[in-house]
Amino acid sequence: MQTVENNTIKNSLNEKDGFHIWWRLLRPHTLTASFIPVFIGSMLAILDGSINYLLFLAMLIAAIMIQAATNMFNEYYDYVRGLDNENSVGIGGTIVRDGIKPKTVLILACSLFAASMLLGVYICLESNWWVCAVGLVCMLFGYLYTGGPLPIAYTPLGELFAGFLMGTMIIGISYYIQTLSIPANMVLISIPVSIFIATILLSNNIRDLDGDKENGRKTIAILIGRKNAISLLAGSFVASYIITIVLIIAGILPLWSFITLLSVGQALKAVKRFIGKSTNVEMIPAMVATAKTNTIFGALLGISLLIQIFIPFSF
Protein backbone atom coordinates (compact mmCIF):
# COMPACT_ATOMS: atom_id res chain seq x y z
CA MET A 1 0.00 0.00 0.00
CA GLN A 2 2.82 2.41 0.89
CA THR A 3 4.46 1.78 -2.49
CA VAL A 4 1.17 2.57 -4.25
CA GLU A 5 0.79 5.84 -2.31
CA ASN A 6 4.42 6.69 -3.01
CA ASN A 7 3.92 6.18 -6.76
CA THR A 8 0.73 8.26 -6.64
CA ILE A 9 2.58 11.20 -5.10
CA LYS A 10 5.43 10.87 -7.61
CA ASN A 11 2.96 10.84 -10.50
CA SER A 12 1.00 13.83 -9.20
CA LEU A 13 4.24 15.80 -8.87
CA ASN A 14 5.53 14.52 -12.24
CA GLU A 15 8.61 13.06 -10.54
CA LYS A 16 10.76 10.85 -12.75
CA ASP A 17 13.60 8.45 -12.08
CA GLY A 18 17.21 8.48 -13.24
CA PHE A 19 18.98 11.84 -13.59
CA HIS A 20 15.76 13.59 -12.64
CA ILE A 21 16.22 12.38 -9.04
CA TRP A 22 19.45 14.31 -8.64
CA TRP A 23 18.08 17.32 -10.52
CA ARG A 24 15.14 17.53 -8.09
CA LEU A 25 17.54 17.31 -5.16
CA LEU A 26 18.99 20.65 -6.29
CA ARG A 27 15.46 22.17 -6.19
CA PRO A 28 16.22 24.04 -9.43
CA HIS A 29 13.26 26.42 -9.11
CA THR A 30 15.05 28.04 -6.14
CA LEU A 31 18.43 28.49 -7.83
CA THR A 32 17.44 31.78 -9.45
CA ALA A 33 17.65 33.19 -5.92
CA SER A 34 21.44 32.82 -6.28
CA PHE A 35 21.81 33.52 -10.01
CA ILE A 36 19.81 36.78 -10.06
CA PRO A 37 21.78 38.61 -7.31
CA VAL A 38 25.12 37.71 -8.91
CA PHE A 39 23.81 38.87 -12.28
CA ILE A 40 22.55 42.19 -10.91
CA GLY A 41 25.66 42.88 -8.84
CA SER A 42 27.85 42.19 -11.85
CA MET A 43 25.73 44.35 -14.16
CA LEU A 44 26.04 47.22 -11.68
CA ALA A 45 29.80 46.74 -11.78
CA ILE A 46 29.79 46.84 -15.59
CA LEU A 47 27.71 50.02 -15.43
CA ASP A 48 30.47 51.51 -13.28
CA GLY A 49 33.08 50.41 -15.81
CA SER A 50 34.57 47.35 -14.16
CA ILE A 51 34.15 43.64 -14.98
CA ASN A 52 36.30 40.53 -14.78
CA TYR A 53 34.39 37.76 -16.53
CA LEU A 54 36.30 34.95 -14.84
CA LEU A 55 35.45 36.44 -11.45
CA PHE A 56 31.82 36.75 -12.51
CA LEU A 57 31.72 33.09 -13.56
CA ALA A 58 33.45 31.92 -10.37
CA MET A 59 31.05 33.93 -8.22
CA LEU A 60 28.05 32.64 -10.13
CA ILE A 61 29.05 28.99 -9.81
CA ALA A 62 29.97 29.40 -6.12
CA ALA A 63 26.64 31.06 -5.30
CA ILE A 64 24.65 28.36 -7.11
CA MET A 65 26.60 25.60 -5.34
CA ILE A 66 25.99 27.19 -1.93
CA GLN A 67 22.26 27.47 -2.71
CA ALA A 68 22.14 23.85 -3.90
CA ALA A 69 24.03 22.68 -0.80
CA THR A 70 21.62 24.60 1.42
CA ASN A 71 18.72 22.82 -0.29
CA MET A 72 20.41 19.48 0.36
CA PHE A 73 20.99 20.28 4.03
CA ASN A 74 17.30 21.16 4.15
CA GLU A 75 16.40 17.80 2.63
CA TYR A 76 18.68 15.93 5.04
CA TYR A 77 17.76 17.65 8.31
CA ASP A 78 14.02 17.73 7.62
CA TYR A 79 14.23 13.97 7.11
CA VAL A 80 16.34 13.42 10.24
CA ARG A 81 13.90 15.46 12.33
CA GLY A 82 10.96 13.50 10.95
CA LEU A 83 9.38 16.41 9.04
CA ASP A 84 9.50 14.75 5.62
CA ASN A 85 7.79 11.54 4.59
CA GLU A 86 6.80 9.91 1.29
CA ASN A 87 3.72 12.18 1.08
CA SER A 88 5.63 15.45 1.61
CA VAL A 89 5.26 18.04 -1.17
CA GLY A 90 7.80 20.70 -2.05
CA ILE A 91 10.90 18.64 -1.37
CA GLY A 92 13.31 16.84 -3.67
CA GLY A 93 11.96 13.55 -2.36
CA THR A 94 15.27 11.80 -3.01
CA ILE A 95 15.40 10.31 0.49
CA VAL A 96 11.77 9.56 1.31
CA ARG A 97 10.52 8.57 -2.16
CA ASP A 98 13.58 7.62 -4.21
CA GLY A 99 15.51 5.72 -1.55
CA ILE A 100 18.73 7.73 -1.70
CA LYS A 101 20.64 7.28 1.57
CA PRO A 102 20.53 10.35 3.87
CA LYS A 103 24.31 10.13 4.32
CA THR A 104 24.74 10.45 0.55
CA VAL A 105 22.73 13.67 0.50
CA LEU A 106 24.76 15.04 3.42
CA ILE A 107 28.06 14.18 1.72
CA LEU A 108 26.92 15.87 -1.50
CA ALA A 109 25.97 19.01 0.41
CA CYS A 110 29.34 19.15 2.18
CA SER A 111 31.11 18.51 -1.13
CA LEU A 112 29.37 21.44 -2.78
CA PHE A 113 30.31 23.67 0.16
CA ALA A 114 33.94 22.53 -0.19
CA ALA A 115 33.95 23.19 -3.93
CA SER A 116 32.48 26.66 -3.41
CA MET A 117 35.22 27.38 -0.86
CA LEU A 118 37.88 26.51 -3.46
CA LEU A 119 36.28 28.98 -5.85
CA GLY A 120 36.17 31.43 -2.95
CA VAL A 121 39.96 31.20 -2.61
CA TYR A 122 40.35 32.23 -6.25
CA ILE A 123 37.85 35.07 -5.79
CA CYS A 124 39.75 36.33 -2.73
CA LEU A 125 43.10 36.16 -4.51
CA GLU A 126 41.65 38.35 -7.26
CA SER A 127 39.90 40.78 -4.91
CA ASN A 128 40.19 40.87 -1.10
CA TRP A 129 40.35 38.28 1.68
CA TRP A 130 37.48 39.98 3.50
CA VAL A 131 35.28 38.34 0.90
CA CYS A 132 36.23 35.00 2.45
CA ALA A 133 34.81 36.03 5.83
CA VAL A 134 31.56 37.25 4.30
CA GLY A 135 31.25 34.12 2.18
CA LEU A 136 31.78 31.87 5.19
CA VAL A 137 29.04 33.73 7.06
CA CYS A 138 26.64 33.14 4.15
CA MET A 139 27.55 29.45 4.11
CA LEU A 140 27.13 29.18 7.88
CA PHE A 141 23.63 30.60 7.76
CA GLY A 142 22.84 28.37 4.78
CA TYR A 143 23.66 25.41 7.01
CA LEU A 144 21.88 26.85 10.06
CA TYR A 145 18.67 27.33 8.09
CA THR A 146 17.72 23.73 8.90
CA GLY A 147 20.85 22.52 10.76
CA GLY A 148 22.09 23.27 14.25
CA PRO A 149 20.24 23.29 17.59
CA LEU A 150 17.80 26.07 16.62
CA PRO A 151 17.20 26.04 12.85
CA ILE A 152 16.27 29.40 11.34
CA ALA A 153 13.51 27.59 9.43
CA TYR A 154 11.72 27.04 12.75
CA THR A 155 11.56 30.79 13.49
CA PRO A 156 9.76 33.81 11.96
CA LEU A 157 13.14 35.10 10.71
CA GLY A 158 13.60 32.82 7.70
CA GLU A 159 12.41 35.34 5.13
CA LEU A 160 14.54 38.10 6.66
CA PHE A 161 17.72 36.03 6.57
CA ALA A 162 17.02 34.69 3.07
CA GLY A 163 16.32 38.15 1.64
CA PHE A 164 19.33 39.82 3.25
CA LEU A 165 21.91 37.07 2.71
CA MET A 166 20.83 35.99 -0.78
CA GLY A 167 19.86 39.49 -1.88
CA THR A 168 21.87 42.35 -0.40
CA MET A 169 24.90 40.27 0.60
CA ILE A 170 25.31 38.38 -2.68
CA ILE A 171 24.71 41.49 -4.77
CA GLY A 172 27.23 43.31 -2.57
CA ILE A 173 29.90 40.61 -2.90
CA SER A 174 29.35 40.33 -6.66
CA TYR A 175 29.79 44.09 -7.01
CA TYR A 176 32.68 44.36 -4.55
CA ILE A 177 34.91 41.71 -6.14
CA GLN A 178 34.73 43.69 -9.39
CA THR A 179 35.16 47.22 -8.03
CA LEU A 180 36.51 46.83 -4.46
CA SER A 181 33.87 49.27 -3.25
CA ILE A 182 30.33 49.22 -1.82
CA PRO A 183 28.42 52.43 -2.72
CA ALA A 184 25.14 53.32 -1.00
CA ASN A 185 23.31 53.18 -4.34
CA MET A 186 24.14 49.50 -4.69
CA VAL A 187 22.65 48.76 -1.26
CA LEU A 188 19.46 50.63 -2.16
CA ILE A 189 19.12 48.77 -5.46
CA SER A 190 19.45 45.45 -3.62
CA ILE A 191 16.36 46.12 -1.47
CA PRO A 192 13.60 45.21 -3.97
CA VAL A 193 15.63 42.18 -5.10
CA SER A 194 15.98 41.04 -1.49
CA ILE A 195 12.23 41.36 -0.96
CA PHE A 196 11.50 39.25 -4.04
CA ILE A 197 13.89 36.55 -2.82
CA ALA A 198 12.19 36.59 0.59
CA THR A 199 8.81 36.05 -1.10
CA ILE A 200 10.05 32.71 -2.49
CA LEU A 201 10.53 31.44 1.06
CA LEU A 202 7.29 33.07 2.21
CA SER A 203 5.35 31.28 -0.53
CA ASN A 204 6.99 28.02 0.53
CA ASN A 205 5.95 28.62 4.15
CA ILE A 206 2.39 29.50 3.12
CA ARG A 207 2.12 26.22 1.27
CA ASP A 208 3.66 24.20 4.12
CA LEU A 209 1.83 26.03 6.91
CA ASP A 210 -0.21 23.11 8.25
CA GLY A 211 2.60 20.59 8.24
CA ASP A 212 5.10 23.08 9.70
CA LYS A 213 2.68 23.95 12.48
CA GLU A 214 2.25 20.29 13.42
CA ASN A 215 6.02 19.92 13.62
CA GLY A 216 6.56 22.86 15.93
CA ARG A 217 7.78 25.50 13.51
CA LYS A 218 6.98 29.17 14.15
CA THR A 219 7.26 30.70 10.68
CA ILE A 220 5.73 34.10 9.99
CA ALA A 221 3.02 32.36 7.95
CA ILE A 222 2.06 30.29 10.99
CA LEU A 223 2.09 33.25 13.37
CA ILE A 224 -0.15 35.47 11.25
CA GLY A 225 -2.23 32.79 9.51
CA ARG A 226 -2.51 31.79 5.85
CA LYS A 227 -4.89 34.60 4.80
CA ASN A 228 -2.69 37.32 6.30
CA ALA A 229 0.43 35.63 4.93
CA ILE A 230 -1.01 35.80 1.42
CA SER A 231 -1.73 39.49 2.04
CA LEU A 232 1.87 39.90 3.20
CA LEU A 233 3.04 38.24 -0.01
CA ALA A 234 0.96 40.67 -2.08
CA GLY A 235 2.17 43.60 0.01
CA SER A 236 5.78 42.53 -0.47
CA PHE A 237 5.32 42.51 -4.24
CA VAL A 238 3.75 45.98 -4.14
CA ALA A 239 6.54 47.32 -1.90
CA SER A 240 9.22 45.99 -4.25
CA TYR A 241 7.67 47.64 -7.28
CA ILE A 242 7.13 50.94 -5.45
CA ILE A 243 10.76 50.98 -4.25
CA THR A 244 11.94 50.24 -7.78
CA ILE A 245 9.89 53.11 -9.20
CA VAL A 246 11.21 55.47 -6.51
CA LEU A 247 14.79 54.45 -7.32
CA ILE A 248 14.15 55.17 -11.00
CA ILE A 249 12.63 58.58 -10.30
CA ALA A 250 15.54 59.38 -7.97
CA GLY A 251 17.98 58.55 -10.78
CA ILE A 252 19.53 55.64 -8.88
CA LEU A 253 18.19 53.22 -11.48
CA PRO A 254 17.99 54.09 -15.21
CA LEU A 255 14.67 54.72 -16.92
CA TRP A 256 15.18 51.40 -18.69
CA SER A 257 14.43 49.74 -15.36
CA PHE A 258 10.75 50.44 -15.91
CA ILE A 259 10.81 47.21 -17.93
CA THR A 260 10.80 45.36 -14.58
CA LEU A 261 7.09 46.21 -14.38
CA LEU A 262 6.55 43.57 -17.06
CA SER A 263 6.79 41.05 -14.21
CA VAL A 264 3.69 42.43 -12.48
CA GLY A 265 1.42 39.95 -14.27
CA GLN A 266 3.41 37.03 -12.87
CA ALA A 267 3.17 38.50 -9.36
CA LEU A 268 -0.60 38.76 -9.70
CA LYS A 269 -0.74 35.10 -10.79
CA ALA A 270 1.22 34.09 -7.69
CA VAL A 271 -1.21 35.80 -5.32
CA LYS A 272 -4.34 34.65 -7.15
CA ARG A 273 -3.16 31.03 -7.22
CA PHE A 274 -2.88 31.00 -3.42
CA ILE A 275 -6.36 32.37 -2.78
CA GLY A 276 -8.91 29.70 -1.94
CA LYS A 277 -6.38 26.84 -2.03
CA SER A 278 -6.04 24.52 0.96
CA THR A 279 -3.78 21.61 -0.03
CA ASN A 280 -0.05 21.57 -0.71
CA VAL A 281 -0.43 20.21 -4.24
CA GLU A 282 -2.98 22.94 -5.10
CA MET A 283 -0.56 25.65 -3.95
CA ILE A 284 2.45 24.43 -5.95
CA PRO A 285 1.52 26.60 -9.00
CA ALA A 286 1.42 29.66 -6.72
CA MET A 287 4.89 28.95 -5.40
CA VAL A 288 6.21 28.36 -8.92
CA ALA A 289 4.69 31.69 -10.01
CA THR A 290 6.38 33.43 -7.05
CA ALA A 291 9.79 32.03 -8.04
CA LYS A 292 9.15 33.06 -11.66
CA THR A 293 8.30 36.59 -10.51
CA ASN A 294 11.71 36.84 -8.85
CA THR A 295 13.39 35.46 -11.96
CA ILE A 296 11.61 37.74 -14.41
CA PHE A 297 11.98 40.87 -12.26
CA GLY A 298 15.66 40.21 -11.56
CA ALA A 299 16.49 39.33 -15.15
CA LEU A 300 14.74 42.45 -16.45
CA LEU A 301 16.49 44.63 -13.86
CA GLY A 302 19.88 43.24 -14.85
CA ILE A 303 19.06 43.66 -18.55
CA SER A 304 17.99 47.27 -17.95
CA LEU A 305 21.40 47.98 -16.42
CA LEU A 306 23.12 46.34 -19.39
CA ILE A 307 21.04 48.40 -21.85
CA GLN A 308 21.98 51.56 -19.94
CA ILE A 309 25.63 50.90 -20.74
CA PHE A 310 25.01 51.06 -24.47
CA ILE A 311 22.04 53.44 -24.55
CA PRO A 312 22.22 55.83 -21.57
CA PHE A 313 18.71 56.94 -20.59
CA SER A 314 18.05 58.60 -17.23
CA PHE A 315 16.22 61.54 -15.70
Poorest-confidence range of 23-27, 70-74, 100-104, 264-268?
23-27
- With b meaning 16 or more CB within 10 Å and e meaning fewer, what string describes 137-156? ebbebbbbbbbeeebbbbeb
Q: What is the pLDDT of residues 77-87, one digit of tens each?
A: 988 887 766 66
- Model confidence at 272, pLDDT cuts 50, 70, 90, reads very high
More confident site: 178 or 27: 178
* Mean predicted lDDT score pLDDT of the chain: 90
Q: What is the pLDDT of residue 19?
A: 72
Indicate the angle between helix axes 226-249 and 280-310, nearest 10 degrees. Answer: 0
Q: Is the dihedral of CA 140, 145, 147, 148 positive or negative?
A: positive
Q: What is the pLDDT of residue 207?
A: 92
Q: Is the pLDDT of residue 227 over 50?
A: yes
Q: How far apart are CA 233 and CA 226, in angstroms?
A: 10
Indicate the angle between helix axes 53-80 and 170-179, nearest 10 degrees. Answer: 160
Q: How far apart are CA 114 and CA 215, in angstroms?
A: 31
Instruction: State residue 115 phi and psi, 5-degree precision.
Output: -65, -40
Report how far Cα 279 is from the mean position of its chain's Cα atoms: 23
* Over residues 79-106, mean pLDDT: 79
Q: Is the pLDDT of residue 253 over 70?
A: yes
What is the model's pTM? 0.90
Q: What is the pLDDT of residue 58?
A: 97
- Model confidence at 95, pLDDT cuts 50, 70, 90, reads confident
Q: What is the pLDDT of residues 183-198, one digit of tens each?
A: 999 999 999 999 999 9
- Model confidence at 8, pLDDT cuts 50, 70, 90, reads very low
Question: What Cα–Cα distance (Å) separates residue 243 from each residue in 37, 110, 171, 250, 278?
Answer: 17, 37, 17, 10, 32
> What is the domain partition of the chain in residue ranges?
2-310
Question: What is the CATH code of the structural domain delimited by 2-310?
Answer: 1.10.600
Q: How far apart are CA 144 and CA 188, in angstroms?
A: 27
